[in-house]
Structure 1
Amino acid sequence: MTLDDLTVPLRALRLLAVDFPHLPAPDVDVSPLYPERLRLSFHDTTGESLAAFEQWRTVLRIAPDAVDSRTQSDGHTRVLAAEGSFAGAVVVLTAFADQPVTDPVSAGQAGGVR
Protein backbone atom coordinates (compact mmCIF):
# COMPACT_ATOMS: atom_id res chain seq x y z
CA MET A 1 0.00 0.00 0.00
CA THR A 2 1.18 3.52 -0.76
CA LEU A 3 0.24 6.94 0.52
CA ASP A 4 -1.81 7.35 -2.64
CA ASP A 5 -4.09 4.57 -1.35
CA LEU A 6 -5.07 6.88 1.53
CA THR A 7 -6.21 9.67 -0.77
CA VAL A 8 -9.88 9.52 0.26
CA PRO A 9 -9.48 10.13 4.02
CA LEU A 10 -6.59 12.55 3.50
CA ARG A 11 -8.66 14.59 1.05
CA ALA A 12 -11.54 14.61 3.53
CA LEU A 13 -9.18 15.84 6.26
CA ARG A 14 -7.85 18.60 4.00
CA LEU A 15 -11.38 19.75 3.15
CA LEU A 16 -12.43 19.68 6.82
CA ALA A 17 -9.41 21.83 7.72
CA VAL A 18 -10.32 24.35 5.01
CA ASP A 19 -14.09 24.38 5.60
CA PHE A 20 -14.10 24.27 9.42
CA PRO A 21 -10.87 25.80 10.73
CA HIS A 22 -12.70 27.20 13.77
CA LEU A 23 -13.60 23.76 15.16
CA PRO A 24 -11.63 22.17 18.00
CA ALA A 25 -8.60 20.21 16.80
CA PRO A 26 -9.07 16.45 17.13
CA ASP A 27 -6.60 13.61 17.34
CA VAL A 28 -6.46 12.39 13.74
CA ASP A 29 -5.91 8.82 12.62
CA VAL A 30 -5.61 7.52 9.07
CA SER A 31 -4.54 3.92 8.69
CA PRO A 32 -3.77 1.57 5.80
CA LEU A 33 -5.80 -1.02 7.72
CA TYR A 34 -8.95 1.00 6.93
CA PRO A 35 -8.01 3.06 3.87
CA GLU A 36 -11.44 4.71 3.49
CA ARG A 37 -11.69 5.77 7.14
CA LEU A 38 -10.79 9.02 8.88
CA ARG A 39 -10.89 8.82 12.67
CA LEU A 40 -11.31 12.01 14.71
CA SER A 41 -11.13 11.65 18.47
CA PHE A 42 -11.26 13.95 21.45
CA HIS A 43 -9.78 13.25 24.88
CA ASP A 44 -9.88 15.26 28.08
CA THR A 45 -10.74 15.17 31.74
CA THR A 46 -13.02 18.22 31.85
CA GLY A 47 -15.81 17.21 29.49
CA GLU A 48 -14.76 19.68 26.79
CA SER A 49 -14.21 16.71 24.49
CA LEU A 50 -17.95 16.01 24.59
CA ALA A 51 -18.69 19.57 23.43
CA ALA A 52 -16.08 19.26 20.65
CA PHE A 53 -17.67 15.95 19.60
CA GLU A 54 -21.07 17.67 19.34
CA GLN A 55 -19.68 20.52 17.24
CA TRP A 56 -18.12 18.05 14.81
CA ARG A 57 -21.23 15.84 14.80
CA THR A 58 -23.32 18.86 13.85
CA VAL A 59 -21.13 20.01 10.94
CA LEU A 60 -20.87 16.45 9.65
CA ARG A 61 -24.67 16.17 9.82
CA ILE A 62 -24.62 13.02 11.89
CA ALA A 63 -28.03 12.55 13.51
CA PRO A 64 -28.11 12.69 17.32
CA ASP A 65 -29.79 9.29 17.43
CA ALA A 66 -26.79 7.81 15.59
CA VAL A 67 -24.55 8.51 18.59
CA ASP A 68 -23.58 5.59 20.80
CA SER A 69 -23.08 6.65 24.42
CA ARG A 70 -21.44 4.32 26.92
CA THR A 71 -18.94 4.17 29.75
CA GLN A 72 -15.71 2.26 30.11
CA SER A 73 -13.04 1.82 32.79
CA ASP A 74 -15.59 0.69 35.39
CA GLY A 75 -17.80 3.69 34.64
CA HIS A 76 -15.02 6.26 35.05
CA THR A 77 -14.86 7.29 31.39
CA ARG A 78 -17.77 8.42 29.26
CA VAL A 79 -17.49 7.59 25.56
CA LEU A 80 -19.46 9.03 22.64
CA ALA A 81 -19.07 7.43 19.21
CA ALA A 82 -20.68 7.98 15.80
CA GLU A 83 -19.96 7.48 12.12
CA GLY A 84 -20.77 9.66 9.16
CA SER A 85 -19.38 10.43 5.75
CA PHE A 86 -17.62 13.41 4.29
CA ALA A 87 -16.01 13.82 0.87
CA GLY A 88 -16.26 10.08 0.25
CA ALA A 89 -14.56 9.05 3.50
CA VAL A 90 -16.12 7.28 6.45
CA VAL A 91 -15.58 9.65 9.37
CA VAL A 92 -15.51 8.05 12.81
CA LEU A 93 -15.99 10.47 15.71
CA THR A 94 -15.11 9.42 19.25
CA ALA A 95 -14.96 11.43 22.47
CA PHE A 96 -13.62 10.34 25.84
CA ALA A 97 -14.18 12.28 29.07
CA ASP A 98 -13.88 11.55 32.77
CA GLN A 99 -17.22 10.57 34.28
CA PRO A 100 -17.81 11.95 37.77
CA VAL A 101 -18.12 9.08 40.21
CA THR A 102 -20.43 9.58 43.16
CA ASP A 103 -18.90 8.42 46.41
CA PRO A 104 -21.78 6.94 48.46
CA VAL A 105 -20.08 7.85 51.77
CA SER A 106 -19.61 11.52 50.93
CA ALA A 107 -23.10 11.64 49.41
CA GLY A 108 -24.54 10.48 52.74
CA GLN A 109 -25.96 7.28 51.30
CA ALA A 110 -23.98 4.72 53.20
CA GLY A 111 -24.48 3.82 56.80
CA GLY A 112 -21.46 4.92 58.77
CA VAL A 113 -19.69 2.93 61.46
CA ARG A 114 -20.15 4.46 64.91
Structure 2
Amino acid sequence: MRADLAMGELTVSLRALRAVAADFPALPAPSVHVSPIFPNRLELALHDDLRAFEPWRIALGIACEDVRLGTQSGGRTWVLEAGTEFAGASVWLTAFSAVSKSGGSGA
Protein backbone atom coordinates (compact mmCIF):
# COMPACT_ATOMS: atom_id res chain seq x y z
CA MET A 1 0.00 0.00 0.00
CA ARG A 2 1.27 3.42 -0.86
CA ALA A 3 1.16 5.90 1.99
CA ASP A 4 0.48 8.75 -0.46
CA LEU A 5 -2.53 7.16 -2.20
CA ALA A 6 -5.33 9.69 -2.59
CA MET A 7 -9.04 8.89 -2.62
CA GLY A 8 -9.16 9.91 -6.27
CA GLU A 9 -6.92 6.96 -7.13
CA LEU A 10 -9.75 4.61 -6.17
CA THR A 11 -12.02 6.02 -8.89
CA VAL A 12 -11.67 3.00 -11.21
CA SER A 13 -13.01 0.57 -8.61
CA LEU A 14 -15.60 3.04 -7.31
CA ARG A 15 -16.90 3.71 -10.83
CA ALA A 16 -17.19 -0.04 -11.34
CA LEU A 17 -19.20 -0.25 -8.11
CA ARG A 18 -21.47 2.51 -9.35
CA ALA A 19 -21.93 0.68 -12.68
CA VAL A 20 -22.70 -2.60 -10.88
CA ALA A 21 -25.33 -0.89 -8.71
CA ALA A 22 -26.90 0.87 -11.70
CA ASP A 23 -26.79 -2.09 -14.10
CA PHE A 24 -27.86 -4.87 -11.72
CA PRO A 25 -30.13 -3.37 -9.04
CA ALA A 26 -32.22 -6.54 -8.64
CA LEU A 27 -29.30 -8.89 -7.95
CA PRO A 28 -28.60 -10.02 -4.37
CA ALA A 29 -26.59 -7.39 -2.50
CA PRO A 30 -23.01 -8.52 -1.92
CA SER A 31 -20.48 -7.37 0.61
CA VAL A 32 -18.29 -4.84 -1.20
CA HIS A 33 -14.58 -4.25 -0.70
CA VAL A 34 -12.38 -1.55 -2.23
CA SER A 35 -8.80 -1.27 -1.01
CA PRO A 36 -5.85 1.06 -1.51
CA ILE A 37 -3.70 -2.07 -1.74
CA PHE A 38 -5.37 -2.94 -5.07
CA PRO A 39 -6.95 0.38 -6.11
CA ASN A 40 -8.32 -0.91 -9.43
CA ARG A 41 -10.04 -3.96 -7.92
CA LEU A 42 -13.64 -4.28 -6.79
CA GLU A 43 -14.41 -7.30 -4.62
CA LEU A 44 -17.96 -8.64 -4.32
CA ALA A 45 -18.63 -11.34 -1.73
CA LEU A 46 -21.81 -13.35 -1.22
CA HIS A 47 -22.30 -15.20 2.04
CA ASP A 48 -24.38 -18.20 3.10
CA ASP A 49 -25.96 -19.04 -0.28
CA LEU A 50 -24.04 -20.24 -3.32
CA ARG A 51 -27.15 -19.74 -5.49
CA ALA A 52 -26.55 -15.97 -5.45
CA PHE A 53 -23.27 -16.51 -7.32
CA GLU A 54 -24.86 -17.64 -10.59
CA PRO A 55 -26.89 -14.52 -11.45
CA TRP A 56 -23.83 -12.40 -10.67
CA ARG A 57 -21.62 -14.63 -12.82
CA ILE A 58 -24.00 -14.26 -15.74
CA ALA A 59 -24.43 -10.50 -15.27
CA LEU A 60 -20.68 -9.93 -15.20
CA GLY A 61 -20.13 -12.16 -18.24
CA ILE A 62 -17.90 -14.67 -16.45
CA ALA A 63 -17.56 -17.98 -18.31
CA CYS A 64 -18.44 -21.15 -16.39
CA GLU A 65 -14.96 -22.55 -16.98
CA ASP A 66 -13.44 -19.53 -15.23
CA VAL A 67 -15.15 -20.35 -11.92
CA ARG A 68 -13.14 -22.14 -9.26
CA LEU A 69 -14.80 -24.28 -6.61
CA GLY A 70 -12.95 -25.08 -3.43
CA THR A 71 -13.27 -25.36 0.30
CA GLN A 72 -11.77 -23.59 3.26
CA SER A 73 -11.92 -23.88 7.04
CA GLY A 74 -10.90 -27.52 6.97
CA GLY A 75 -13.53 -28.40 4.40
CA ARG A 76 -16.40 -26.81 6.33
CA THR A 77 -17.03 -23.97 3.84
CA TRP A 78 -17.61 -24.10 0.08
CA VAL A 79 -16.03 -21.29 -1.92
CA LEU A 80 -16.88 -20.25 -5.48
CA GLU A 81 -14.68 -17.57 -7.03
CA ALA A 82 -13.98 -15.93 -10.35
CA GLY A 83 -12.63 -12.69 -11.69
CA THR A 84 -13.31 -10.51 -14.72
CA GLU A 85 -12.91 -7.00 -16.04
CA PHE A 86 -16.00 -4.81 -15.70
CA ALA A 87 -16.35 -1.07 -16.23
CA GLY A 88 -12.57 -0.73 -16.35
CA ALA A 89 -11.90 -2.48 -13.03
CA SER A 90 -10.80 -5.94 -12.06
CA VAL A 91 -13.86 -7.43 -10.38
CA TRP A 92 -13.48 -10.43 -8.09
CA LEU A 93 -16.65 -12.37 -7.27
CA THR A 94 -16.65 -14.81 -4.35
CA ALA A 95 -19.42 -16.82 -2.68
CA PHE A 96 -19.21 -18.76 0.58
CA SER A 97 -21.55 -21.34 2.08
CA ALA A 98 -21.30 -23.87 4.84
CA VAL A 99 -20.91 -27.47 3.74
CA SER A 100 -24.00 -29.27 5.01
CA LYS A 101 -23.64 -32.35 7.20
CA SER A 102 -25.04 -34.43 4.32
CA GLY A 103 -22.25 -33.18 2.04
CA GLY A 104 -24.43 -30.81 -0.02
CA SER A 105 -23.37 -27.41 -1.29
CA GLY A 106 -25.94 -25.32 0.53
CA ALA A 107 -27.25 -24.31 -2.89
TM-score (norm 2): 0.88
- Verify: 1:57 aligned to 2:61, yes or no: no
Deviation of residue 51 (structure 1)? 1.3
The correspondence of residues 36-75 of structure 1 with structure 2, limited to 5 A, is: 36-44=40-48, 48=49, 50-75=50-75
Corresponding pairs, count = 99
Gaps of 5+ in 2: none
Q: Percent identity?
A: 54
Q: List, as ranges, runs of 4+ consecutive aligned residues in structure 1 with deviation greater than 6 Å.
A: none
Gaps of 5+ in 1: 104-114
The correspondence of residues 1-114 of structure 1 with structure 2, limited to 5 A, is: 1-44=5-48, 48=49, 50-102=50-102
- The C-alpha deviation readout for 1:45-99, integer Å capped at 9, x for no partner, is xxx2x11111111000000110010011121100001001101100000011001
Larger radius of gyration: 1
**Aligned residues: CA RMSD:** 1.2
**Contact 1:76 / 1:101 at 8 angstroms: preserved in 2?**
no
Between the aligned partners of 1:70 and 1:89, the Cα distance in structure 2 is 25
Between the aligned partners of 2:83 and 2:58, the Cα distance in structure 1 is 12
